Structure 1
Amino acid sequence: MVPNDDKISSFQLGLLIFLTPIGVGIFTLPAVLAKDVENNGWFVLILGGLINILFLFFISEVGKKYAELGLVETLRTLFGKFIGTLMALPIFLFYFLFTAIEIRMFGETTKMYLLFNTPLEFIMIPIFIVAYLLVRMGIEQIARFFEAIFYLTVLTFVFLFLLVVPKSDYSNLLPVLRVEPLKILKGISDSLFSYAGFEILFFLFPFIRKPEKAFKSSMIGMIFIIFIYIFIVIHCYARFGAEYTKTLLYPTLSLVKASDVPGAFLEGIEGLLFSLWIILIFTTIVTYVFGYMIVGGDLIKHREKKHIAIMIMPIIYIISLIPDSIADIVDLSDKMVLYLGYYTLFFIPIVMYIASLIKGVRKA
């Protein structure tokens, strides 16, 4: 039996890396990439996934050296107390604001497709409270929850997307790579952030039993995500074509709705996908709440970090209600990616990796 020491195994770490990024974006990703690179979305997803694996390597190398310190204390060790604290503030803001965005997107999408007459607040508040209740129990309990839903998630994915294969026309994927280089760069940029969530590895190191195996476990989790994303994008293009995919709000949902169940023994197949989606968006929210709780607690050196989560919840809820529509939410999300996303996901790993190398050379 696993001891209750609030530590996670390498397998559980891989599940956290796998299940965190797959949230709201899984519905919209095919349309976003179709606008960028026509029918070559699968190609930029591969490139984006490989680039993110490289950044996982940077994070893992730094994390192994300072596994007991955590993200904030590692920054303070590498850059000094004052500069390290300043560098950690945007990371806290990233998790704080993206938690608000994810909760609002969950509320809007659920209201649009499932709970038409339910007030938005009564959709958002329950999932936020349940996420907090899980987070306050610690990372081990979070990992056990992820472990419990992993097999259900995989089986549902296999069942749902095997339905779309028979009617796919793969000639819609042609021509291959006949697109301008600048558009490919834009597609790579968007694909990079479809994997956002892998950076949680930074603050997970103090909770990992075997930090030396973190990169291998995280890489396997990332490869699973790449495979699922590519499968979804290819079959959206194969069924609808890139031009029509651009016009769809949620191409993945449309793909499932357009599929027929053999023998018609199950109606409303999109409901099954929505059930899976609710679980996946919940995992994203849980991890982001845990992220701002840990980073915020370390910033002010507060031992009871669960207090940070409960104190900030009302502020996050108020912020989540500021956008007027889904278009405003998407616009806000794009701005957050531009200013905080690049910083948290890519700038910080590179800078910390270089600083750790320099510090290692000085010690030698």
Structure 2
Amino acid sequence: MRDRDFITNFEIFSTIIVTVIGVGIFSLPRELVSTAGTDGWFVTIMAGVGTYFLLYMAYKTIKSNGYNKLSIILENNFGKILGGILAVIFVVYNVFAISIGMRIFVEVIKMYLLEKTPTEFLIVVTIFSGIYLVRSKLENLIKFNEVSFWIMFISLGMILIFTLNKADFSNILPAFSNTPYTYLVSLKSAVYSFAGIEIIYLIGPFIKNKSYINRTALKSILFITIFYVIVVVFSLAIFSKKQTEILLWPTITMIDSININGAFIERWEGIVMAMWVMFYFTTFSNIYYLSSDIIKDVFRLGDINLSSALIAPFIYVIALYPQNIAEIYDIGNKFIPPLFIYSLIVLPIFILLFGKVRNTGSRGKAIFLLLICIVLTGCWDKVEIDRVHLVSIIGVDAGADIGKKKEVMDIKPTDPLTSVDLKKFHVTFGIPDLSKLEPGKGGILQDKYINVDGYSIQDAVSGAIAKSSRSMRFSHTKILVLGENLMKYPESVKEVIDYLQREPSLNRNMYIVMSDGDAEKYIKFNTPAEMSVENYILGMVESDLKNSTVIPVTLNDFLVQMSENGNSIVPRIVMDKDDKNIKVSGTFAIKSFAQKGVLNSEQTSDIELLKGILRGGKKVIYLDEHPVDIRIDNVDRKIKMVQRNGKLVFNVDLYIEGQIKNYYTDNEALSVNKLNQIQHDFNESIGKECRNVVKYTQKDLQVDPVGFGEYVEKYHPDVWKQVKNNWDGTYKNAVININVNTNIRRIGATK
């Protein structure tokens, strides 16, 4: 017979953590940022403090009742009937919570991995996996939690490290800019994310060292709070506030957007789904066991196997009831909060204040259950590769009917749009021709193309599938080309942006470029240098990444910028007059979802310099009638802002380190005076360049590619509140001073 008290301190710690941190962690950043903005991390800390007091109250409830089970505590204090009713209501909350969580879990699995697998089947498999764990007794559940803890948090910790290269932690600014009422409203969502602490009622009676329960509970809440804060901060740092607000599951998108050149993991969907399964299943199995154990005791069933089987149909029905993802969240928001308040606030207070207090003195299965979690991420709806088109490049142009506003206005919401032949978008899909790669033979991968017109991008995708009789996969797409004519229609561009944000299968690390003319012409371009045009364009963009002649923009970067205010700068590709060559030439400036103008390569490089993100490249000055090439190795930018005479005055200080790469043989650079002269001339030259490009973007284009508005919003929130509604006018009249300080560290191998 087992020792009644068998749970160690670390097992308490790990069980509370893996039960609380479920799949809600993947949507938590959106929920907090939507209400508290950039202060979501602070609200999380407040919620952590409040949750500890709730957990402490539950601990006191157990302690004051002789460390009995919850069902026994309720029966002893309120009698068999009333105590049983209170216990069943507690179970209803837990069953409802894990059922809603299960439906969200299944919907995400279907969206990212098992698109064709029936929802009912996934729910049944998950329930039966939970039943198996419940039948394997509490010891195995605790071991499962212990092993899962290390797998979950070591893995996720390493994944978060991989996102650091995309993070801009200034996005968490401004801080403490909300009203107390806003914090209180946000606190509600944050506290609900700590649901699961009721697991203490299951493990409390079986803890070895009961004097350390409170201390261990505090450590677990501290760990959860810190983890939540990290996830919220990273989401803001990578997506910014606006993008985080509109993503359903920011944490999933954040992990999926990881791109590590040369890494052994190319696509992260499998990793994401493995984490998703693990995070849900630990919450589900623990709460399922707690609910089954209470039902067993209340109805004197004698065997938890029977009680778990009785609960299973209720989980299935509740999980399957919502018709769509919106209804899932709507039902959850209506019913879970009051049940949460009852179970974690009202019930323990009721017991402590009004109850009759009576003070009375195998790893093998765990590993098997972990394997179940891994198996659940398998490719059950596999499709042979010859039945799939792996889209490598996409081009979106304006369709023939994109400007026909009258025809569109005549269409009623109740009219079937499928019967309307509206060619609003012209989409070109470039697909590697896998037939060229035959087994046992060499082959050169070439592209084939599908052109489709549609009233939306999704309609075009459906049309392409119908044309080819194959499904389309976008996880390997490398380049998205937006046609110049498309950018003349801002409302249509918004539709494209919405599709790009909404479609989870798109590779967020693909590069975006805009074409000078129709995108289709560039996608079908036959280049002598590469067999596929996407590799040719990709090579140019990544080469320019090192040479600083353009600012490469990924899909994730583009969506973040556009969600802020509809503004962005995108690399521009052009074709020479003879249509024999493609090159990247500067950038297109986009404002309010429309093309505003063009920045040439030099101006684009200056923008990178002013943003402080220049990764290299060179600048040239003329000295003694000879060019002096200076390679820039490092750039640091400092901005300060003051208000003067009703205008904003920005002082931009650029600190540049570099080395001389070219001079002329009849002169020497190894001289303090000569170097000082070169540095002075370089400062003046770069200063003029930067002032000219700022004047052009500020006065002529009226766009803010440097990010002065973003700076004001983050570091001067009070000023931003005054000017944000008229930022265009404020920015146009702002005074921008630029000061360049160059330090030439090296002069090469000669004097």
What amino acid is aligned across from residue 26 of structure 1 in structure 2? I
Q: Deviations over 1:51-108 (max 9, x none)?
A: 1111111111221232443112212323344433332221011122223212222111
Given the superposition, is the C-alpha separation of residues 229 and 262 from structure 1 closer, same or farther in structure 2, using an over 3 Å criterion? farther
- TM-superposed CA distance for 1:8, in Å, is 2.1
Distance 1:56 1:322 in 2: 32
- TM-superposed CA distance for 1:247, in Å, is 0.9
- TM-superposed CA distance for 1:359, in Å, is 4.3
Given the superposition, is the C-alpha separation of residues 101 and 341 from structure 1 closer, same or farther in structure 2, using an over 3 Å criterion? same
Q: Secondary structure at the match of 1:259?
A: coil
What corresponds to 1:277 in structure 2? 276
What corresponds to 1:113 in structure 2? 112
What corresponds to 1:252 in structure 2? 251
What corresponds to 1:337 in structure 2? 336
Distance 2:134 2:84 in 1: 24
Q: Secondary structure at the match of 1:241?
A: helix
Distance 1:290 1:203 in 2: 8
Contact 1:6 1:140 in 2 (8 A): no
What corresponds to 1:94 in structure 2? 93
Distance 1:54 1:134 in 2: 30
Q: Name the % identity.
A: 29
Contact 2:97 2:336 in 1 (8 A): no
Q: Deviations over 1:162-210 (max 9, x none)?
A: 0122321121111111112222111111000101001111232222223
What amino acid is aligned across from residue 141 of structure 2 in structure 1? I
Q: Secondary structure at the match of 2:321?
A: coil
Distance 1:287 1:9 in 2: 17
Q: Secondary structure at the match of 2:89?
A: helix
- TM-superposed CA distance for 1:33, in Å, is 0.7
Distance 1:278 1:331 in 2: 23
Q: Secondary structure at the match of 1:69?
A: coil
Distance 1:306 1:208 in 2: 23
| Alignment of 1:17 onto 2:16 | yes
Contact 2:64 2:357 in 1 (8 A): no
| Alignment of 1:289 onto 2:293 | no
- TM-superposed CA distance for 1:288, in Å, is 1.6
- The residue correspondences of 1:43-62 to structure 2 (distance < 5 A) are 43-62=42-61
What corresponds to 1:311 in structure 2? 310
Q: Deviations over 1:134-167 (max 9, x none)?
A: 1111111001111122222122012100012232
What amino acid is aligned across from residue 141 of structure 1 in structure 2? N
Given the superposition, is the C-alpha separation of residues 6 and 312 from structure 1 closer, same or farther in structure 2, using an over 3 Å criterion? farther
Distance 1:63 1:313 in 2: 28
Contact 1:64 1:212 in 2 (8 A): no
What corresponds to 1:139 in structure 2? 138
What corresponds to 1:221 in structure 2? 220
What corresponds to 2:581 in structure 1? none
Distance 1:322 1:6 in 2: 40
Q: Deviations over 1:228-266 (max 9, x none)?
A: 111110011111111121111111111122232253332
| Alignment of 1:180 onto 2:184 | no
What corresponds to 1:167 in structure 2? 166
What amino acid is aligned across from residue 301 of structure 1 in structure 2? R
Q: Secondary structure at the match of 1:40?
A: helix
Distance 1:7 1:131 in 2: 22
Structural RMSD (CA): 2.2
Given the superposition, is the C-alpha separation of residues 5 and 202 from structure 1 closer, same or farther in structure 2, using an over 3 Å criterion? closer
- TM-superposed CA distance for 1:215, in Å, is 1.9
Given the superposition, is the C-alpha separation of residues 83 and 122 from structure 1 closer, same or farther in structure 2, using an over 3 Å criterion? closer
Q: Secondary structure at the match of 1:263?
A: coil
- TM-superposed CA distance for 1:28, in Å, is 0.7
Distance 1:195 1:69 in 2: 24
Q: Which of structures 1 and 2 has the bigger CA Rg?
A: 2
What amino acid is aligned across from residue 249 of structure 2 in structure 1? Y
Q: Secondary structure at the match of 2:265?
A: coil
Given the superposition, is the C-alpha separation of residues 4 and 148 from structure 1 closer, same or farther in structure 2, using an over 3 Å criterion? farther
- TM-superposed CA distance for 1:133, in Å, is 0.5
Q: Secondary structure at the match of 1:223?
A: helix
Contact 1:253 1:273 in 2 (8 A): yes
Given the superposition, is the C-alpha separation of residues 251 and 213 from structure 1 closer, same or farther in structure 2, using an over 3 Å criterion? same
Contact 2:167 2:238 in 1 (8 A): yes
Contact 1:4 1:140 in 2 (8 A): no
Contact 2:58 2:344 in 1 (8 A): no
Given the superposition, is the C-alpha separation of residues 4 and 135 from structure 1 closer, same or farther in structure 2, using an over 3 Å criterion? farther
Distance 2:150 2:99 in 1: 28
Contact 1:6 1:139 in 2 (8 A): no
What corresponds to 2:201 in structure 1? 202
Contact 1:6 1:138 in 2 (8 A): no
Given the superposition, is the C-alpha separation of residues 9 and 67 from structure 1 closer, same or farther in structure 2, using an over 3 Å criterion? farther
- TM-superposed CA distance for 1:271, in Å, is 2.5
Q: Secondary structure at the match of 2:258?
A: coil
Contact 2:64 2:358 in 1 (8 A): no
Compare the two structures and name the one with the higher helix fraction: 1
Distance 2:310 2:331 in 1: 24
What amino acid is aligned across from residue 288 of structure 1 in structure 2? I
Given the superposition, is the C-alpha separation of residues 137 and 5 from structure 1 closer, same or farther in structure 2, using an over 3 Å criterion? farther
Contact 1:139 1:207 in 2 (8 A): no
- TM-superposed CA distance for 1:302, in Å, is 2.5
For normalisation by structure 2, the TM-score amounts to 0.46
Distance 1:90 1:239 in 2: 41
Distance 2:351 2:61 in 1: 7
- TM-superposed CA distance for 1:6, in Å, is 8.0
Given the superposition, is the C-alpha separation of residues 349 and 68 from structure 1 closer, same or farther in structure 2, using an over 3 Å criterion? closer
Question: Where do 5+ consecutive residues of structure 2 fail to align?
Answer: 361-751
Distance 1:250 1:205 in 2: 33
What amino acid is aligned across from residue 333 of structure 2 in structure 1? D
What corresponds to 1:268 in structure 2? 267
What corresponds to 2:571 in structure 1? none
Distance 1:84 1:286 in 2: 25
Instruction: Select between 26-35 and 58-67 the one with higher mean Cα deviation.
Output: 58-67
Instruction: Select between 336-345 and 138-147 the one with higher mean Cα deviation.
Output: 336-345
What amino acid is aligned across from residue 142 of structure 1 in structure 2? L
Contact 1:34 1:40 in 2 (8 A): yes
Given the superposition, is the C-alpha separation of residues 359 and 147 from structure 1 closer, same or farther in structure 2, using an over 3 Å criterion? closer
For normalisation by structure 1, the TM-score amounts to 0.92
- TM-superposed CA distance for 1:290, in Å, is 0.6
Q: Deviations over 1:5-58 (max 9, x none)?
A: 684222111111000122221111111111111111100100101111111111
Distance 1:88 1:4 in 2: 26
Distance 1:304 1:3 in 2: 17
What corresponds to 2:188 in structure 1? 189
Contact 1:10 1:213 in 2 (8 A): yes
Contact 1:256 1:269 in 2 (8 A): yes
Contact 1:63 1:211 in 2 (8 A): no
Distance 2:269 2:178 in 1: 33
